[in-house]
Chain A
């Protein structure tokens, strides 16, 4: 485990076991349980194996990420198959999720047939609704127009939006467009202005869940794993008692708690990427076939009103 992640766990004040589980670099799916406004996370494998207690909440939802439909190289020549396995894992949850968040990189090359396969595959998800934000692989040659047309209907500006569920406020942000040379992920002036207004009239006690593709915290800027203007965005939310930030992009689970903000990144359903600085580049990791599924997964979130915990559970496709 890397030190810069470990250190941040010292003040978490939440289920240490759950977080330590999520610290495992091995990619997994995550269950997020929002209990009274605080997000807690658990490995989905543990839930399915009943290793954790009662996670019943007011609201549960699942995060999946980085499906990269169209990728066909080692270590995963069949990313559609592993996406289907992830979907099966979601469908096997004891409580069906109210909705699913896909945090970007639906496709590898933004091709129409890749978007088709993704959309077709997700139809088998047993949930009421799926929400999306784009990854940089979804907006390659057209500034995100094709993505927006298919997955961003009814959104604001370049595709950002918010909605309310069971008293929690969800915000989907886009940080993969108009990237500047030498820079990181980017939200931009218009989106920040919208965000400030969006949260202005919410009560301090409203649980906030923010989701976007590239991490909204500085995971490893040397590899572009961060967002240039994320601090500005988070400054609008400092007054809230519970903020949960869900991201993808780095193809591994990581957690950080900073004040009232819990940051979490999800695994990919397609291929793993190396730990920060542990390889020459953040490119796809080539792992033995028998190890692949232990490094892919999904994330499940549960919310229980009044208990001030929001549980996030990561679980791998293995087992």
Chain B
């Protein structure tokens, strides 16, 4: 499995870390003499998006993203769910409440997935 992590954290903390990292990154820049030209955009996770698992559903159920985008699923239900690719491209462990799972989609294509605990729950990612 590549580019996938399971984190016991929440989206707020993920974004908090991103902001913190971006702040660190920009500090040395600020200490240099200002150069003409555009300010460098933070490089951390320029393409990241989240899917919420709520009420036994993936929200949004279908998602279109650009190649290279990292998708993070976060479970807001009181019961565990999984995120499992039908074509075995990615597979999370069981995510308890507020746990999350991330996967970066490098290659264009259609990725269908489901919750292997509650297989009625299905979703689709289209990578352009």
Interface residues of A (CB under 8 A from B): 71, 73, 108-110, 136-137, 140-141, 179-184, 222-224, 280-284
Dominant SS among interface residues on chain B? loop
Candidates A73, A179, A282, A283; contact of B119 at CB < 8 Å: A179
Chain B residues positioned under 8 Å from A224 (CB to CB)? 118-120
* Contact of B79 with A182 in the complex, beta carbons under 8 Å: no
Chain B residues positioned under 8 Å from A73 (CB to CB)? 78, 97
Bound-state CA distance A235–B86 (Å) is 30
B62-87 residues at the A interface, CB under 8 angstroms = 77-80, 82, 86
Dominant SS among interface residues on chain A? loop
Chain A residues positioned under 8 Å from B116 (CB to CB)? 179
Q: With A181-B122, A224-B119 as known contacts, state yes or no: A280 contacts B55, CB within 8 Å.
A: yes
Smallest Cβ-Cβ distance to B114: which chain A residue: A181
Listed A/B pairs (16) with beta-carbon separation below 8 Å: A73-B97, A108-B80, A109-B94, A137-B80, A140-B82, A140-B93, A140-B117, A179-B116, A180-B119, A181-B112, A181-B122, A182-B114, A182-B119, A184-B120, A281-B55, A283-B56
Interface residues of B (CB under 8 A from A): 55-57, 77-80, 82, 86, 93-94, 96-97, 112-114, 116-120, 122
Bound-state CA distance A181–B115 (Å) is 7
Q: With A110-B94, A141-B93 as known contacts, state yes or no: A283 contacts B120, CB within 8 Å.
A: no
Chain B residues positioned under 8 Å from A282 (CB to CB)? 56
Q: With A181-B112, A182-B120 as known contacts, state yes or no: A109 contacts B96, CB within 8 Å.
A: yes
Closest 6 CB pairs of A and B: A181-B114, A281-B55, A281-B56, A140-B94, A179-B119, A224-B120
* Contact of B55 with A284 in the complex, beta carbons under 8 Å: no
Chain A residues positioned under 8 Å from B94 (CB to CB)? 109-110, 140-141
State the Cβ distance, A147 to closest chain B Cβ, in Å: 14
Bound-state CA distance A140–B118 (Å) is 11
Chain A residues positioned under 8 Å from B82 (CB to CB)? 140
Chain B residues positioned under 8 Å from A283 (CB to CB)? 55-56, 77-79
Bound-state CA distance A224–B80 (Å) is 15
Chain B residues positioned under 8 Å from A223 (CB to CB)? 56, 120
Chain B residues positioned under 8 Å from A141 (CB to CB)? 93-94
State the Cβ distance, B111 to closest chain A Cβ, in Å: 12
State the Cβ distance, B48 to closest chain A Cβ, in Å: 25
Bound-state CA distance A73–B76 (Å) is 13
Bound-state CA distance A180–B84 (Å) is 11
Bound-state CA distance A219–B79 (Å) is 20
State the Cβ distance, B59 to closest chain A Cβ, in Å: 12
State the Cβ distance, A292 to closest chain B Cβ, in Å: 15
Bound-state CA distance A280–B77 (Å) is 12
Smallest Cβ-Cβ distance to B97: which chain A residue: A73
* Contact of B119 with A181 in the complex, beta carbons under 8 Å: yes
Interface centre among B79, B97, B112, B113 (most CB of A within 10 A): B79
* Contact of B79 with A184 in the complex, beta carbons under 8 Å: no
Chain A residues positioned under 8 Å from B96 (CB to CB)? 109
Q: With A109-B96, A181-B86 as known contacts, state yes or no: A284 contacts B119, CB within 8 Å.
A: no
Chain B residues positioned under 8 Å from A182 (CB to CB)? 114, 119-120, 122
Smallest Cβ-Cβ distance to A284: which chain B residue: B78
Smallest Cβ-Cβ distance to A110: which chain B residue: B94
Bound-state CA distance A302–B56 (Å) is 37
15 further A-B contacts with Cβ under 8 Å, apart from A141-B94, A181-B113, A281-B57, are: A71-B78, A73-B78, A137-B80, A140-B82, A180-B119, A181-B112, A181-B114, A183-B119, A183-B120, A223-B56, A223-B120, A224-B118, A224-B120, A283-B77, A284-B79
Bound-state CA distance A22–B120 (Å) is 28
Chain A residues positioned under 8 Å from B118 (CB to CB)? 136, 224
Chain A residues positioned under 8 Å from B113 (CB to CB)? 181
Smallest Cβ-Cβ distance to A181: which chain B residue: B114
Bound-state CA distance A110–B95 (Å) is 12
